[in-house]
Structure formats: structure tokens, C-alpha cells
Structure 1
Amino acid sequence: MNTIDEITRRRFLTSGKNLVGGAALMSMLGQSAIGSPAAQPVGPHFAPKAKRVIYLHMVGGPAQMDLFDYKPAMQEMYDKDLPDSIRKGQRLTTMTSGQARFPIAPSRFKFSQAGECGMWMNTELLPWMAKKADDICLMRSLNTEAINHEPAIAAMQTGNQVTGRPCLGSWASYGLGTMNENLPSFVVLVAVPSNREQEQAISSRLWSSGYLPGQFAGVSFRSKGDPILYINNPPGVPDALRKKSIDGLNRLNEINYGALGDPEIQTRIQQYEMAFRMQASVPELTDMSSEPKHIFDLYGEDVQKPGSFANTALMARRLAERGVRFIQVYHNNWDHHSNVGGRMPDQCKDVDQPCYALLEDLEQRGMLDETLVIWGGEFGRTIYSQGSLSKTNYGRDHHPRCFSMWMAGGGAKPGTVYGETDDFSYNIVRDPLHIRDFHATVLHLLGFDHEQFSYKFQGLNQKLTGVLPAHVVKDLLA
């Protein structure tokens, strides 16, 4: 060690004459912050109902009143202004706060009751999903403080509107570890929508491990070309030579770790080893030629189109089948500020049959009971129209006060509708469900007490659910 530049602050404070400083740092950060023990999964607090999660995030905020929150009274309110008694002076985005009017735009789509449970939903655009109503736990009273996409997606994924925190997938991986040594415990898939009119930007900040060890970050698979860049050997380099090179690098990294004590070096060692093992496992995973015809028929006509939502949903099942702990899927273009009538059918066509197929496929394989499937966005939409209004073309602004999501399998209560909004789908009138409560409930299904499931960082026991009250919603549990 020749220069001070080679010494990390953490190593400097924990060595030699700085032993007192090291003790203070250890007290503040916890032992896990300065060494490899942090890389070990902590294990559940009690037996989990769900062993794995497939989270289908609809980026942009699906309009709840056009999909799952049936509001027939709005048909008589067409083009009338949203009453002040409903809005109650609540915050609006700058996209509609300057509008002279807030004309009511009823959903133009057909709703009916589905399943033996009689769940109301848009059966015109979601006929396949309606067949699974008795398996779905529908939550109509989600709410958040975030009114714009960036903070809202961050809050939905990480529990905090400020980016840089660990996401739900990283927490699950940190808590439960991996079930397959040849694949990551947390994989991210980004589906390409058939309609690309107004997509939101998403990036790896959403699947970051934040202050958790780097090995618990999500690994993004590409839909075209090599699923993971640089995983394959360069031309002319055989596996034996690649393995010898990795072994040599790992020995050097171990020496470096002994000198510097930086836990990210341990993460690097594990990533090299994982990349080598994935060279054999990933090609088998992504080769769908072994799937029988009835599976392709189940997922629909787009299933063999790389990057489609149908193809991504089947890939999610294959990942779950091979022991991946958390599969995060993103489907974009749900930000319907205009042309709801034109865009909503495209969006629903993308996801309707594949969502049905995913649940059916998991159930047929005996996996649904142990796989929690989540579907939803980061917030809802307004009942009033943004911009011009016609019966075939209207837009909807962001609305954080209420929105709908659903869960299935993994211990979620099937055939259930939780929460109720007013006639305008604007305010919650029964059983509000804050996203902190949603996170606490998901962690409970994974076997964790959200109050006890924490990581020492910057002197605090950091939690997914934060410091404000959060509650497990027992009515959502089977």
C-alpha cells in the first residue's frame, strides 16, 4: 500500500492507531457495513407464503376507472365539471392546474362482473384477465404522496421518493438469498409495448441495491442479442482459460480485500463467479424452442416475438421455474395524458392474455401458491379530462389519491376486492391502503416482519417501509 489513495475511509478508520475511530464507525454502521457478513441473506422471521415474486409494473400509471374501478354514475356526469367538494383543493400537476374547466370523462369501455366472486372489471379490454377474477386479490384503495413519475416510481419500488434506496427486489434477495447458484436472485425484464406513443424513462436506478451490498442489485436481461452484455467469452477464448483468468482475478481481489476491507470487492468476486456460471445457464434459459405448442398458444400470438410482453411473461415463468427469487417486469406507455380511447386498447391487448397465461401456467405447474404475482403502476389517473374532451378521445392527468393494483398467488387472498373509492374514483371512502402498507404486506408474505427487517446504514436501521407507520393488511392474506 503505497499511497493514501489506496486506503478507503472505512479501512483507515478501522486500522492501527485509528482503532477508536474504527470502533465508533462500527457502532454507527454495524459490523455488516465493513465486511463480508453483510453479503449473507438474513433469512425470514417466519415461514413465508411466497418463495418468489413476479412483479409486473405498468409504467406511467394505468387509469383505474378504465380498468378495475367501475364508476357507472359518471355516465350521467359527462362533460360536467368536477365538483369542488370532491377535489377539496387537492394538489394538481402543472399540466392541468391551469385548466379553466375539469370536465368529467366517463370510461368509454364496458364493465361487467367476472368470476364467481362477481368482481367488476373492464371485460371489454381484459376478457382473458376476467377469467382469473377468482384468483385475483384486487386492491382499489392504493394511495401515495407522489404526483410525478420519477418520485412516484421510486416510492413504489423503493419505499422512498428519493432515488438511491434499495428496491423491493433487492430487499427480497437480501432477506431470502438465491435458490439457484447459476442465475441471479433478482432479474429485471423490460417489455416493449406495441404502442410507443408516450413512454416514461426508466433506468437501473429502479433496480439498484442502494445501500445494500451490490450483489443484491437487479440484473437486467436484454430482449435482443445477448441477454447480458459481455457474459460470453471473447472469440478464441475457451472456457478453461476464462475460468483460469477468473480464478487469478479472484485471488488478486482477495488480496485487495484483505488490504482494504472494502465489501464491494467481495461483490466483484461473486459477480465474476456468477458471470462464469451464467455462461451455461443463460443460453438454456433463453432458448424457448423446448416449450410445447400449447404453451405458446396459451401466451398468445406475440409470445415468440422478442421483447413483447407475452415473450417477457413466459420468460418470467421460466426464471421463476429455475429458482430466481424476484423477477421485475416493466411495461411502458401507460401515461395516458391524451388519446385514452386509442391507446388503452393497445396496452390491454399487450398484457391481457399473457397475464392470464402466466397465472394459468404457474397454477398448472403447482407454482402459483408459492409465487406472488403483482400487477400495477405508480399512481392512478383523474376522472376529469386533460385537454380536449370527446367521447372517443380524452386524456387523464396523474392522480395519487387512489389507484388500483392486484396480486395473485403467494398467499394473497383470491377473489377479493379491498378498498372503495367515491363515485368519481377521486377519494378513498373505505379501507385506504398506503404504499407503505402494501410493502409491509408483501414483506409479510415473504416471511418478514417489516419492523424488524432492516439494514444498518448511516447510523440508522433502514427499512423498506421507512419510519412512518405501516401495517400488514390481514384482509389481503389468504
Structure 2
Amino acid sequence: MNTHELQSRRRLLKTSAIGFGHLALSSLLHEQAQAEAPVESPLAAKIPHIAARAKRIVFLFMKGGPSHVDTFDPKPLLTRDDGKPLPFDLPRVTFAKQSNLLKSPWKFKQFGQSGLPVSELFPHVAKHVDDLCVLRSLHGTNPAHGGALLKMHTGSDQFVRPSLGSWVTYGLGTENQNLPAFVTICPTLAHGGVNNWGSAFLPAYCQGTPIGNASLSASKAKVKHIRNERIDPQMQRRQLDLIAAMNRDHLSVAGRNAALEGRLNAFELAFRMQSTMPEVQDLESETELTQRMYGIDDPITEDFGRQCLLARRFLERGVRFVQVTHSDSEVQWDQHSNLYKGHTKNAVEVDKPIAGFLADLKARGLLKDTLVLWGGEFGRTPTAQGNNGRDHNPHGFTMWMAGGGVKGGYAYGATDEYGYYAVENKMHVHDLHATILHLLGMDHERLTYRYAGRDFRLTDVAGVVADDIFA
């Protein structure tokens, strides 16, 4: 524009108006394009921080606290000194009164090329010992079930915090947009209940989806109302679109609302699940051989076998985190008395299904990038409660991993010569969580969420990765 054109104010406004109109039109088109562009799902798969050894995880949770000295951590001195007093001090805080040392009622035997010892309680799992990484030095802080369950599942026994599965979902998303990223099968409603699979202050989409609960048989553990018998999918789609449009209008005026956005995402996921979930839950589509491998043909192993088979079907369809819980209202793994009867019952119910699960994952090529975690909220004392039981012991206990980039046929850490305290390569629950996240490709110090003015993480201000267990 030259000088004498600028001298005319009218000419300036007239010619500039075209420019303003162009800018306005561009803005409107941009806003329309944004509105029409597909919105990325918050559950979309995310790039991990580091190279991941595992893509997914399944937690085989044994509620009540299985005894490590009777399962995967043999103590010859416990047998030798049966009935004698513990030769060192008890913890400052104990859950209940304890008496003298109590030997294991079961013998241990070495298995596989690794020669790792496993007790008579797990003859089927023992055949897979060369795939197991046995962690013998776990320890926590709380001797009560409620606090210990919350510690194991959320990293805190005092506050409501997001669960491990929710953190994994937040960090990695899922590989199947038609299923939840985090599923918990037959979870216990006691000792923390929904907090053990809750998302707390993380976004609502990180919440675990329960399939049944511990009071139901696995055969009845279904997603309720997965089919709408009154309205066809086309009408449902129109209803959801209308609801979404109305709520987007509300959000444009009122601003962001995490709870409302969470409900909208839940509506959409529930709609998509209608076409996917019934097929996943149809275990009858599995071969008779597969069902027998999981023990579904035996009433003793049927219940847990169904849970494990359902877990495999979720995992192979891209669900990121699956939990399977063995629990009942009478026995669990909490043998303060009748140790032999209770642990025998529990082990028989889960031994064959777990072995079948490991074998099936391996045969399908899933074990190499699926992390399997087995264990409870704590262990049991080597000292007796009464004359035939064991008390809670968070000071030293055993869990094991398989697949997912860990060493097979390997024992990590140790408890003392009687099995009371973790003493070698001690692995706190925070260390366990840090190690799990690392295997899944996440740096536990970088996986944070800003809430109430500070950055939170699963491992709080602790956590050391046990990289010695990596293959």
C-alpha cells in the first residue's frame, strides 16, 4: 500500500475490511474443522518412556497372605528347630500373639533345569519353574489385611491413591478401544474394596472395570446389561450423539469438568463393548482340550480356571492390565489356624489353572511380552499361632513373576534362615511397583500426575528398580 492510499481513512478501512473478513472466515473454518475432527480417545495407546519388555500385565492375587515358607521359600532350619523359640526378636508391632517355631507340613523338591525348590502344594506350577522369577525378599509396612492390600494395590496404606492398574492405564493406554484398559475379575469387596482398583484423582477412564466379585462364582461373573433388548444399536448411537452434543455445549460454557468428561467416555466405551464383550466372555468357544488344561472340567478347579482363561482372552485382545483374585469368605489364604487344611484347599484350587495359564500363554507366544505376577498382600510367620496356624507377616514374603522380560528359573533376594525378615536384596512394595513399571516401559519417577498442588506418583518418594531380575 503506497502513501497517498494511506491518506484516505475511508479507503484504508474499506480495503482492510477484506483482510479482517478473511481472518474471521479462517478462524471460523478452523473452529469448524476442530469440531468435526475425530477426538483421540484418552485410552489410545501411548509411547512408553523406555523400551518396554512387557506390553501387558496380569496379577494373580492370592487374598489373605499365602505362606512363603510353605510354598516357594524353604527353610531347613525351621524344620530342624520346630517347637523352639524364635532365636531373635519379634517385630515391634505384631498382629496377634505368636508362639514357637512351626515347621512346614509340606516337603520341598527341586524342579526343572534351574533346580528351584517348590513345595508339594504346587506340583503343577513346579513344572514351569524355569519360567519363574521368584522374589523372596518382599516386605511392606502393614500387618493388617486392609492396609496391606491397599499398600500392594495403590502404594499407600493410609490414603486413597490410584491403583497400580490405574497408573498403568494412565501411562500406556490400551491396544483395544472396544474393551476397558484395566479389568479385575472377581475382586474382593473387603479390605479396601473398590479403592484397590480405583483411579482416585487420576482421570476417570483409568478406573478398573470389575467383572463380578469374590462372592460370585466365576461362571456368573458377567458384565451386566451388556445387551440392550429394547433399543437397537442405531437408536442407541443417535441417543449418545445427542447426549454428547448437549454436554459439549454445556462444557463450552461452563468449562472443563473431569467428572462429566469421564461419564461421556464411559458411555462411548460401554456402547462399543456391546459388540466385543459377549465374545470375550464366551468360554464355550474354547476347545475341550483348553478347558481341561485350565481345570474347568473339575469342580475343584473350575472357578479359578474360568477366571484365568477369561484373563487370557482379555490379554490377547489388547487389555493392558488384568487382575484375577482367588478369595472366598471362609478360608482365603489367611490360616491363623488349620494351616494344613486351608493351604491345601487353596493350592489345589489354583495350582492347575495357573499352570495351564502359563502353558497357554507360552504356546500362543504371549508369555514373552506378558508380565505375570503372583502373590498376596503379605506372607505368614515362621512362628505358630496356636499350634497349627501362622500369623500375618509383612516383614518378609515371596511373590513370583514370569514372562515379560524377567529371568526364568531365578531366585532373587532372601529372608533370614527362618523366614521372618527380608535380609538380602530387600524389595519393598515401592520397589516392586517401580520394577513393574520399568518392565512395562515406564520410569516410575516420570510417571506423575499433578493434583492438589503437588506431583504424585505410584511409588511416592521411594522405589528402586530391581534390574538384576531382567533377562
Fold agreement, TM-score > 0.5: yes
Deviation of residue 307 (structure 1)? 7.6
One-letter amino acid of the structure 2 residue matched with residue 462 of structure 1: F
Deviation of residue 86 (structure 1)? 4.3
How many angstroms apart in 2 are the aligned matches of 1:413 and 1:424? 26
Match of 2:232 in 1: 238
CA change 1:136–1:231 in 2 (3 A) is same
CA-to-aligned-CA distance 1:406-450 (integer Å, 9 cap, x gap): 000011111110011122101223111111111111110011111
Structure 1: give runs of 5+ residues left out of the alignment. 1-35, 193-198
Map 1:62-101 to 2 at 5 A: 62-83=66-87, 85-87=88-90, 89-93=91-95, 95-96=96-97
How many angstroms apart in 1 are the aligned matches of 2:197 and 2:385? 32
Match of 1:279 in 2: 274
Quick one: which of 191, 204, 208 aligns to 2:198? Answer: 208
Q: Does 1:455 align with 2:445?
A: no
Deviation of residue 162 (structure 1)? 2.3
One-letter amino acid of the structure 2 residue matched with residue 464 of structure 1: L
Match of 1:176 in 2: 172
Give the conservation status (yes or no) of the 8 Å contact 2:137–2:427.
yes
How many angstroms apart in 1 are the aligned matches of 2:221 and 2:383? 45
Match of 1:138 in 2: 134
Quick one: which of 163, 166, 169 aligns to 1:167? Answer: 163
Give the conservation status (yes or no) of the 8 Å contact 2:139–2:394.
yes
CA change 1:356–1:40 in 2 (3 A) is closer
Give the conservation status (yes or no) of the 8 Å contact 2:166–2:207.
yes
Match of 2:375 in 1: 376
Quick one: which of 133, 149, 170 aligns to 2:145? Answer: 149
Taking only aligned residues, the RMSD between alpha carbons, in angstroms, comes to 2.1
Give the conservation status (yes or no) of the 8 Å contact 1:191–1:312.
no
Q: Does 1:116 align with 2:101?
A: no
How many angstroms apart in 2 are the aligned matches of 1:343 and 1:434? 27
Match of 2:100 in 1: 103
Give the conservation status (yes or no) of the 8 Å contact 1:137–1:416.
yes
One-letter amino acid of the structure 2 residue matched with residue 351 of structure 1: V
How many angstroms apart in 2 are the aligned matches of 1:306 and 1:336? 20
One-letter amino acid of the structure 2 residue matched with residue 348 of structure 1: A
Give the conservation status (yes or no) of the 8 Å contact 1:191–1:308.
no
Give the conservation status (yes or no) of the 8 Å contact 1:437–1:472.
yes
Q: Does 1:476 align with 2:469?
A: yes
CA change 1:225–1:142 in 2 (3 A) is closer
Structure showing greater radius of gyration is 2
Q: Does 1:252 align with 2:246?
A: yes
Give the conservation status (yes or no) of the 8 Å contact 1:178–1:185.
yes
Match of 2:61 in 1: 57
Map 1:432-451 to 2 at 5 A: 432-451=426-445
Deviation of residue 39 (structure 1)? 7.0
Deviation of residue 477 (structure 1)? 0.7
Match of 2:405 in 1: 411
Superposition TM-score, scaled by structure 1 size = 0.84
Give the conservation status (yes or no) of the 8 Å contact 2:295–2:302.
no
Q: Report the secondary structure of 1:269's partner residue.
A: helix
Deviation of residue 379 (structure 1)? 0.9
Quick one: which of 185, 189, 192 aligns to 2:185? Answer: 189
CA-to-aligned-CA distance 1:131-160 (integer Å, 9 cap, x gap): 011000000000011111111111111111
How many angstroms apart in 2 are the aligned matches of 1:61 and 1:183? 31
How many angstroms apart in 2 are the aligned matches of 1:200 and 1:263? 28
Match of 1:360 in 2: 359
Give the conservation status (yes or no) of the 8 Å contact 1:303–1:310.
no
CA change 1:268–1:380 in 2 (3 A) is same
Deviation of residue 226 (structure 1)? 6.9
Map 1:332-347 to 2 at 5 A: 332=327, 333-347=332-346
CA change 1:452–1:398 in 2 (3 A) is same
CA-to-aligned-CA distance 1:175-198 (integer Å, 9 cap, x gap): 111100110010010179xxxxxx
CA-to-aligned-CA distance 1:188-210 (integer Å, 9 cap, x gap): 10179xxxxxx955621110011
How many angstroms apart in 2 are the aligned matches of 1:384 and 1:64? 13
Give the conservation status (yes or no) of the 8 Å contact 1:138–1:407.
yes
Map 1:219-238 to 2 at 5 A: 219-222=209-212, 223-225=218-220, 227-233=222-228, 235-238=229-232
How many angstroms apart in 2 are the aligned matches of 1:175 and 1:65? 36
Deviation of residue 252 (structure 1)? 1.8
Give the conservation status (yes or no) of the 8 Å contact 1:191–1:307.
no
Q: Report the secondary structure of 2:318's partner residue.
A: coil
Choose 235-244 or 287-296, whichever is displaced more.
Answer: 235-244
Quick one: which of 115, 119, 125 aligns to 2:121? Answer: 125
Deviation of residue 227 (structure 1)? 1.5
Match of 1:422 in 2: 416
Count residues with an aligned counterpart. Answer: 422
How many angstroms apart in 1 are the aligned matches of 2:438 and 2:199? 20
How many angstroms apart in 1 are the aligned matches of 2:298 and 2:362? 19
One-letter amino acid of the structure 2 residue matched with residue 314 of structure 1: L
One-letter amino acid of the structure 1 residue matched with residue 232 of structure 2: P
Match of 1:396 in 2: 390
Deviation of residue 257 (structure 1)? 2.1
Give the conservation status (yes or no) of the 8 Å contact 1:443–1:449.
yes
Give the conservation status (yes or no) of the 8 Å contact 2:368–2:405.
yes
How many angstroms apart in 2 are the aligned matches of 1:415 and 1:291? 30
CA change 1:191–1:219 in 2 (3 A) is closer
Give the conservation status (yes or no) of the 8 Å contact 1:303–1:314.
no
Give aligned-pair identity as a percent: 39
How many angstroms apart in 2 are the aligned matches of 1:151 and 1:41? 32
Structure 2: give runs of 5+ residues left out of the alignment. 1-39, 213-217
Q: Does 1:312 align with 2:307?
A: yes
